[in-house]
């Protein structure tokens, strides 16, 4: 969302990012991905779509980053990358 970039950068803000997730091969994989991402400090919401091979993550951008969330997913065996 273009408006997000215009908001005062010093204020902690909830951000939502969409990540494409690799390696999800069965219906249980999204649960593993969701758990791994939700464990990251600052993440408040994770929705994983197996069909779309993507995760929509809501997080406090003062406490974590998309990179940290992607790394947590990769560490669980599912490399993720932010979609733009
Ligand atoms: Cu699986």
Q: What is the CATH number of the domain that holds 30?
A: 3.30.70.100
Ligand 1 ion local residues (Cβ < 5 A): 26, 28-29
CA dist 68 → 11, 26, 38, 61 (Å):
20, 24, 11, 11
Residue 5 included in any domain: no
Q: Which domain holds residue 24?
A: 14-82
Distance 73 CA to ligand 1 centre (A): 14
Evaluate whether residue 8 is within a structural domain.
Answer: no
* Residue 4 within a domain: no
Q: Is 11 a residue whose pLDDT tops 80?
A: no
pLDDT tens digits along 38-61: 999 999 999 999 999 999 999 999
Domain count for the chain, please give it. Answer: 1
Q: Residue 54 corresponds to which tokens in the numbers above? A: 């993507």
* Whole-number pLDDT of residue 5: 54
What mean pLDDT do residues 63-83 have?
A: 98
3-state SS string for the chain:
CHHHHHCCCCCCCEEEEEEEECCCCCCCHHHHHHHHHHCCCCEEEEEEECCCCEEEEEEECCCCCHHHHHHHHHHCCCCEEECC
């Amino acid at each position: 969302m273009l408006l997000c970039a215009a908001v005062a950068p010093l204020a902690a803000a909830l951000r939502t990012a969409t990540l494409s997730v690799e390696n999800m091969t069965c219906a249980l994989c999204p649960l593993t991905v969701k758990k791994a991402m939700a464990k990251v400090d600052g993440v408040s919401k994770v929705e994983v779509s197996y069909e779309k091979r993507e995760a929509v993550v809501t997080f406090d951008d003062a406490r974590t980053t998309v990179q940290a969330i992607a790394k947590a997913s990769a560490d669980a065996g599912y490399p993720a990358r932010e979609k733009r």
